[in-house]
Structure 1
Amino acid sequence: MNIDDIQAFLAIVANQSLTKAAEFLHLSQSSVSHRLKNLERELGLVLVERRKGLKTITLTPAGEDFIQVAEKWMHLLLETQSLKSRTSLSLAIGSVDSVSTYLLPNVYQKIISQHPAMRLHIYTKNSTELYDLLEQRTIDIAFVLQERLIKNIELSPFFAEPMVVLRLALPEHQAVQYIHPEQLNPSDELYHEWFPTYQIWHSKWWDPLKPPHIQVSNGPMVLPLLRTAHQWAIVPLSIAQSAAATSKYTIQKLTDPPPDRICYKLTHKMAKSSTKEALAIFEAFAAELYTQFDYLNQIKHR
């Protein structure tokens, strides 16, 4: 089948008229009619009923059935053609929101600056969704907060970072560098369940049967909600430092802190050959995070 003939048929269907289809395609009506006849001849089917005096076209049953086939064929053809125009370096990166927003932007920027021909596709999802996307080969690398063992996925700890208390930058808070969990009123907490071991630590200090007044499903959401002097939230240091840089918030360290938050790097064990070079470039720049953020602890793969 010829792409021009398929386009003519779909234009006729969309516009319900040979005349309007010709205008849409910037062709003469006779050219559109000729392409339709070519398609019908190749298929051995009559797709459009031809009756004199009708301003709108009517599809035959075969024509109605062929619409879906034509749309799929056109989609596959465009996908095939797009392969020719794609750069040789392309990488699909998935990450949980807090890592993508507060740690990876500089990595993205350096790649764009030093490898302008390299294309990045960035996905922000939760950890469970990222495992699924990597299994489906939709993404090439992912950064998650959950450790799962899956047959075709290579998992390795990427970094660990401390958890700290974040509060409004008021003099009484700025004067306190370290704080004990017992000094924090749970009724004033903005709570997010960061990871399982964090939840265990949290339950040690505050009654798990008394839910917090405000609980968020997305960690960074605590920032716009942190508005009063009594409120507090425990967040990863990367989020806390970014927030403190605005001068609106201050950081307090815990004398009995929760476990560090661990971020895991995922790649597919059967990485596509077309992405191996791009992966190597990305991982080289990502390794510089340990220098840029000196509080990140590099974890050796077990």
Structure 2
Amino acid sequence: MNYRTIEIFLDLVQTRNITKTAQRLYLAQSTVSKRLAALEEELGYSLIQRTKGRREILLTRQGEQFISVAERWKNLFEETESLKNASLSTIMLGISESSYYGFIAPFLRRFMEAHSDIRIVASIYNSDQIYQMMDNHMLDYGITAYESERVGVSRQCISRQKLCLIRYSAEPEEGQVISPAALDPAKEIRFTGGNFRSMNHWRKTWFGGRNESRLELNTVQGIVPFLDGTDYWAVCTPSMAVSIARNVSLQIYQMEGCADTWELFFLKREGEEAQKTTAATQFEAELFAYVEAFSENE
């Protein structure tokens, strides 16, 4: 993805017409069509419905959902550009939501309290988007839920947590263990929006990879209304479970026979040590000290 292509897509959302968008952006219609097709190929799905004889563009369901992603991408790119000549004490950080609330947010709060001269621009995206932004030099650091080899981007595992299971309970108890054989797969709330390999492996081991779940969510906090007072259940990490338990009474189970772990990876650009600012040096040092202490507590 690049800025011009995102700009074309968002203008098409407004005009719903390729000719009008081409005129407004001073481009040839063929250029608009090619840029849109290239974006769809990169994303792996169609954004518009192509119907002969229709002047007005209709978006696909994925196209409608992509609008908010494109708007955030455009805003972050513009903010990144505006910071090029600004203070060197700004850190651009992309975080997967699955790691934010229970793991990274407490560190950021502590870090900001200790460094009044450092500015953090933290954005929550899914892991695929974070990798793309690292590729485009839009982020200083990324924290993702899976590992992907990218040219110029180093990856380091900073956390491994065993998967656990959560379900509503009015009177939760500590140290509870559950066998997945006792679970109804149709009652699972599945997290989507990322490449969650450990969850997929666990599900395949116990349920043969069947997708019987009737509810999928791409947000951790969005799970709360569906857990509260119901018999739905979800697989997550202990840190996610503790975060969710602040809003709903949960029983947190260890899972019998489960060796799968949820891994988090720290991303940064390679070969940029010479340009590293004092703020970045402090951020990395304190993040890894926090990670080490977190692991010991786990």
TM-score, normalisation: structure 1: 0.64
Amino acid at match of 2:185: P
Distance verdict in 2 for CA 1:262–1:92, change over 3 Å: same
Cα displacement (A) at 1:111: 2.4
1:289 to 284, 288, 291: 291
1:109 Cα deviation after fit: 1.9
Alignment partner, residue 48 of structure 1: none
Partner SS for 2:229:
coil
Q: Distance in 1 between matches of 2:161 and 2:83?
A: 41
After superposition, the Cα gap between the structure-2 partners of 1:246 and 1:274, relative to the gap in structure 1 and judged at 3 Å, is same
Counterpart in 2 of 1:242? 243
Alpha carbons of structure 1 residues 175 and 265: separation in structure 2 relative to 1, 3 Å: closer
Contact 1:87 1:118 in 2 (8 A): no
Read off the aligned partner of 1:289 and give its amino acid letter: V
Aligned length: 217
Alignment partner of 1:100 is 2:107: no
Deviation at 1:294, TM superposition (A): 4.1
Task: Identify the residue that residue 182 of structure 2 maps to in structure 1.
Answer: 183
Q: Which amino acid aligns with 1:290?
A: E
Shift of 1:295: 5.1
CA distance in 2 between partners of 1:169 and 1:214 (Å): 20
CA distance 1:127–1:247, shift in 2 (3 Å): closer
Is the Cα contact below 8 Å between 1:127 and 1:144 reproduced in 2?
yes
Mapping of residues 143-154 of structure 1, within 5 Å:
143-154=143-154
- Measure, in 1, the Cα distance between the counterparts of 2:237 and 2:95: 15
Q: SS at 1:103's partner residue?
A: helix
Q: Which runs of 5+ in 2 are unaligned?
A: 1-25, 27-79
Residues of 2 paired with 1:167 and 1:128: CA distance?
29
CA offsets 1:160-198 (integer angstroms, 9 cap, x no match): 112111111234x63871111101111221122561232
SS at match of 1:104: helix
Question: Partner of 1:269 in structure 2?
Answer: 270
Cα contact 1:133–1:139 (8 A) shared by 2: yes
Give the structure 1 partner of residue 166 of structure 2: 166
Q: Percent identity?
A: 15
Work out whether 1:192 is the aligned partner of 2:191.
yes
Residues 134 and 142, structure 1, Cα contact 8 Å, conserved in 2: yes
What is the RMSD of the two structures over their aligned residues, measured on CA atoms? 2.7
Q: How far apart are the structure 1 equivalents of 2:159 and 2:295?
A: 11
Aligned to 2:254: 253
> 1:265: how far off?
0.7
- Give 3-state SS (helix, strand or coil) of 2:117's partner: coil
Closer, same or farther in 2 for the Cα pair 1:210/1:140, shift >3 Å? closer
Q: Is the 8 A contact 1:188 1:230 kept in 2?
A: yes
| CA distance in structure 2 between the partners assigned to 1:232 and 1:83 by the alignment | 46
Q: Is the 8 A contact 1:140 1:271 kept in 2?
A: no
Mapped contact 1:110–1:285 kept (Cα < 8 A):
no
**1:203, CA displacement in angstroms?**
1.6
Report the CA distance between 1:244 and its aligned residue.
2.7
SS at match of 2:166: strand
Query: Which has more radius of gyration?
Result: 1
